[in-house]
């Protein structure tokens, strides 16, 4: 696995308490190449980096998301530890794409996600471009297939973009959910995809048509706010009720640049953190969420680590509200 590297423990630093008051004091580092995986019979979280912006480059976005995983780690490390003493928090390294072979990188990512799920952990992936979604989804799919039975995976994507561009030229950060839809057609499985925060000024007419043809559930940004929360809550709950597992993906460029300037495609017209947190709580409370990723965090354009801090706080919210 030459596209994989163990995490440098120096990324996880912060105020010292000596009593695990902070996550950098709680985290355990695992080298998936050489270390024996801990025996897990308690809740366990596995942070995996995806240091790749090859898909963003191909999609003509602002490159720099390759640096996203370590920027998020640095901010996550400083946050307070509210986990139970028995809960395991692991950093299991990073998958990179130094040779530009996106397909290979996504294949390695899928295999690693499957491995993490088989070890009874909850994968938290940090990227990296939104092409993370294709590898991540396939890792979940392979795990469920190995477990036996036919399980339906619902994708909930917090994003300004559908990411349903056709991949006839190449795979990129704008094609992952179209690729997943095509795979679902081939194996005659259901393509269950909900996108929250879609903007008219961020998607072409053909993308809206593609979404409708593929039966995608979506809520536009103009309605994705607390004024419409009761209706949104019901739509999310109805979507969740129709699937066995939820894979949640958060594209940081869906947030307004007032909150998240450090992304591949920034806009002031995005949604708010409060709205995402309220929706995340619905997903968590369903007990169906199987994995999570954060995409498109780009430190090159961040201001005072604001976007990295937001990404870290989203992860903190999920792990704190799930145990």
Whole-angstrom distance, CA of residue 123 vs CA of residue 113:
7
Per the annotation, binding residues for Mn(2+) are 130, 159, 161, 163, 251, 253
Q: What angle do CA 133, 139, 145 make, to 5 degrees?
A: 135
Per the annotation, binding residues are 130, 159, 161, 163, 251, 253
Whole-angstrom distance, CA of residue 316 vs CA of residue 127:
16
What are the pLDDT tens digits along the chain (323 aa)? 468 999 999 999 999 999 999 999 999 999 999 887 777 777 899 999 999 999 999 998 899 999 999 999 999 999 999 999 999 999 999 999 989 999 999 999 999 999 999 999 999 999 999 999 999 999 999 999 999 878 999 999 999 999 999 987 788 899 999 999 999 999 999 999 999 999 999 999 999 999 999 999 999 999 999 999 999 999 999 999 999 999 999 999 999 999 999 999 999 999 999 999 999 999 999 999 999 999 999 999 999 999 999 999 999 999 999 86
Whole-angstrom distance, CA of residue 41 vs CA of residue 43:
7
**pTM metric for this prediction:** 0.97
CA-to-CA dists, residue 288 to 47, 82, 173, 272, 292, angstroms: 19, 22, 26, 24, 12
Beta bridge partners of 132: none
Instruction: Tell me the domains of the chain and their CATH numbers.
Output: 4-322 (3.40.800.10)
Decide: residue 109, CB within 10 A, 0-12 exposed, 13-18 middle, 19+ buried: buried
Please report where in the chains the tokens 């996600």 appear, as a residue.
113
Annotate 86-104 with DSSP letters as a single string: T-EEEEEEEEE-TT--HHH
Whole-angstrom distance, CA of residue 7 vs CA of residue 207:
38
């Amino acid at each position: 696995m030459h596209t994989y590297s163990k995490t440098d423990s120096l990324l996880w630093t912060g105020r010292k308490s000596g009593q695990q008051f902070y996550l950098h004091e709680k985290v355990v580092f695992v080298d998936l190449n050489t270390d024996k995986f801990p025996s897990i019979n308690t809740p366990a979280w596995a942070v995996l980096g995806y240091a790749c912006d090859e898909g963003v480059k191909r999609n003509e976005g602002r490159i720099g998301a390759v640096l996203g995983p370590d920027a998020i780690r640095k901010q996550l490390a400083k946050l307070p530890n509210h986990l139970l003493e028995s809960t395991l928090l692991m950093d299991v390294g990073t998958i990179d794409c130094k040779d530009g072979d996106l397909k290979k990188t996504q294949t390695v990512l899928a295999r690693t996600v499957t491995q993490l799920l088989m070890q009874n952990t909850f994968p938290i992936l940090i990227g990296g471009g939104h092409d993370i979604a294709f590898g991540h989804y396939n890792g979940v799919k392979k795990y469920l297939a190995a477990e036996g039975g036919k399980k339906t995976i619902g994708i909930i994507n917090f994003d300004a973009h559908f990411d349903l561009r056709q991949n006839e030229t190449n795979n990129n950060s704008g094609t992952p959910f179209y690729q997943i839809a095509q795979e679902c057609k081939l194996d005659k499985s259901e393509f269950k995809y909900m996108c929250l925060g879609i903007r008219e000024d961020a998607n072409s007419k053909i993308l809206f048509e593609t979404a409708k043809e593929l039966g995608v559930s979506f809520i536009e940004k103009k309605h994705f706010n607390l004024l419409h929360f009761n209706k949104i809550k019901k739509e999310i709950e109805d979507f969740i009720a129709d699937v066995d597992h939820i894979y949640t993906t958060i594209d940081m460029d869906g947030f307004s640049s007032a909150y998240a300037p450090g992304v591949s495609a920034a806009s002031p017209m995005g949604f708010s953190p409060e709205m995402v947190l309220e929706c995340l709580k619905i997903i968590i409370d369903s007990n169906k969420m199987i994995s999570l990723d954060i995409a498109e965090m780009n430190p090159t354009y961040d201001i005072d680590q604001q976007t990295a801090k937001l990404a870290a706080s989203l992860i903190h919210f999920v792990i704190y509200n799930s145990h």
